[in-house]
Amino acid sequence: MSRSDHHLGPLVDLGRERPQVPARARNMSPIVPRGSIAGSALVAVVAIMTFLASITTGTVLLVSASAAEWQSEVASEITVQVRPAPGRDIDRDAAAVAEAVRAQSGVVDIRPFTKEESAKLLEPWLGSGLSLDELPVPRVIVARVQPGATVDLEALRRRVTQAAPSASVDDHRAWIERMRSMTGATVIAGIAILVLVIIATIISVSFATRGAMAANRPIVEVLHFVGAGDRYIANRFLRHFLRLGLEGGVIGGGIAMLVFGFSESIAGWFSGTPVGDQFAALLGTFSLRPSGYLALAAQAVLIAAITAWASRRTLFKTLNEID
Amino acid sequence: MVRFENVGLRYGLGPEILRDLNFLIPAHSFQFLTGPSGAGKTSLLKLLFLSLRPTRGLVNLFGHDVSLLGKDEIADLRKRIGIVLQDFRLLDHMTTYENVALPFRVMGREESSYRKEVIDLLKWVGLGERMDALPPILSGGEKQRAAIARAVISRPHLLLADEPTGNVDPTLGRRLLRLFIELNRSGTAVVIATHDMTLMDQYDARRLVLHEGRLHIYE
């Protein structure tokens, strides 16, 4: 809105003083110098926050996927136990129960465990070379249910107890409920950690922005003198914070992806050890699906965007205080 | 262009340092603002630049009652005002050329449209050889000339200058005065705060004299 827009003549006439060689001066410096913003500390904070958020999300995804696999496997099986009872032949009882289970509609396959197989199941607790004749060990019959079919458990229980009064039927419902609540708790804990990480990121970025604004107050004042509005000034700072947020997000998210990428090999080093077996039982193969990596990348971008938003909010608040 | 009616200013709960100011600054006018040190010249310039609000009275700038203006409107009005402060306020990380070109940059203009004008003005104020120098290595006089060049480069409607020749030799002082006169001839209203009688004697202009918080006008 200055009058130089109105095609006035030159303000000064240099006459013979006009330089013969054109000057090399150009606008090269950014209005807000990059070095004036404590960038490395903020990048580190955002990287750490993104890493923690990614590890949390990745773990929640692994647990959820493994739990879903477990549930579908367990839900497709029914276990029948035949306990030894005085005056009864357990082999005959087991065979009768197996026939009763096979006849139940919805059951596609049964697998009665033999004496030797039952001994193998007990080996970790009782050691090898076990003689089952000396112990009242129950027999197990595993029935595989047709996917999508509903088995009438009451009818199955009646048949089984008719065949052997000491037999019991377990459809693992209690287990599945426990798994479901454990997975739900893991997801809720993951979301809570993510919310905390995001809040911590917003607070850190707000402090960093305030610090940068305080360090650059003379620049802000001069920009006000030459007629720059708050939006113009905020944008000069914002591009720095957006870049720092992206750098932090890429570093933190990238390291987390590498961790998940290598976790399969790391899990391999521990296989055969009690710790490795427990992890494998809980988390399956320990490898993230491609959709999981996409989720981590989206999360890194989200954290960079949150950094930019928190910075913008603080910038306008601080600019209001400066004038 | 500028109208003050019964304007008073105090800092906090202190005494009123400017009292009952009533004056007009017409478009295309030239005036010296003078008075003893501590008379309130800088405060009056800050009122004119909208970086201070009066504690009472009416300030009307370019047809706007400044008490009703929001931040964005003040920023827009400031684009029509050039100011030279005693502490220069140059950006240390920018070269002399970049400091002087800053108002155009903030306006969002292409560098090619103003580059020649900036270079010519820097030559005129004697900074042709210092265009790529950073302010920390400029002398006081050089900083002052860079600050003046930045204030006049966009040909503001109103130029406010606080002791603009305080750090330069008499020859350069005359040259800078010629720049202000030239700017005034091209349509800018100029207010120069100074207590340099030699400078004021070189150009017959209206004088606004501040004394004990009150303003006396000598046409």
| Domain segments of chain B as ranges | 2-218
First to last CA, chain A: 21
Q: Residue A28 CB: number of other CB atoms within 10 A?
A: 10
- A219 to chain B, closest Cα gap in Å: 7
- A9 to chain B, closest Cα gap in Å: 9
* Model pLDDT for residues B165-217, shown as the tens digit of each residue: 877 788 888 888 888 898 898 889 999 999 888 889 998 999 999 998 899 99
**What are the boundaries of each domain within chain A?**
35-71+177-322, 84-165
pTM over 0.80, yes/no: no
**Residue B195: per-residue pLDDT:** 85
- B144 to chain A, closest Cα gap in Å: 15
Give the CA distances from residue A236 to residues A40, A240, A311, B36, B133, in Å, rounded to whole numbers and listed in that order.
18, 7, 12, 41, 23
Cα B139 versus chain centre, distance:
20
| Burial class, B125, CB count within 10 angstroms (exposed 0-12 / middle 13-18 / buried 19+) | buried
Q: Can you tell me the mean pLDDT for A31-50?
A: 81
Cα distance between residue B148 and residue A166, in whole Å: 104
| Burial class, A43, CB count within 10 angstroms (exposed 0-12 / middle 13-18 / buried 19+) | buried
CA angle (B214 as vertex; B209, B218 as ends), nearest 5:
30
Alpha helices in B6-108 (DSSP H): 41-48, 71-78, 96-107
Confidence check: pLDDT of A33 > 60: yes
> Of all residues in chain B, what percent carry a pLDDT higher than 70?
100
* Model pLDDT for residues A128-174, shown as the tens digit of each residue: 766 666 777 788 888 888 877 777 888 888 888 888 888 888 877 77
- DSSP 3-state percent helix, strand, coil across chain B (nearest 5): 40, 25, 35
Give this complex's ipTM: 0.86
CB contact under 8 A, A224 and B157: no
The answer to whether the beta carbons of residues B31 and B207 sit under 8 Å apart is yes
CB contact under 8 A, B123 and A11: no
What DSSP string describes A249-279? Answer: HHHHHHHHHHHHHHHHHHHHHHTTSHHHHHH
Give the CA distances from residue A151 to residues A108, A148, A177, A299, A323, in Å, rounded to whole numbers and listed in that order.
11, 10, 18, 43, 75
Confidence check: pLDDT of A41 > 50: yes
Which CATH number does A84-165 carry?
A: 3.30.70
Structure tokens at A229: 């509005």
Give the CA distances from residue B57 to residues A26, A181, A241, B9, B54, in Å, rounded to whole numbers and listed in that order.
45, 71, 43, 9, 7
**Residue A212: per-residue pLDDT:** 80
Measure the CA dihedral B20/B23/B25/B26, to 10°: 150
Q: Which CATH number fits domain B2-218: 3.30.70.270, 3.10.180.10, 1.10.443.10, 3.40.50.300?
A: 3.40.50.300
CB contact under 8 A, B123 and A223: no
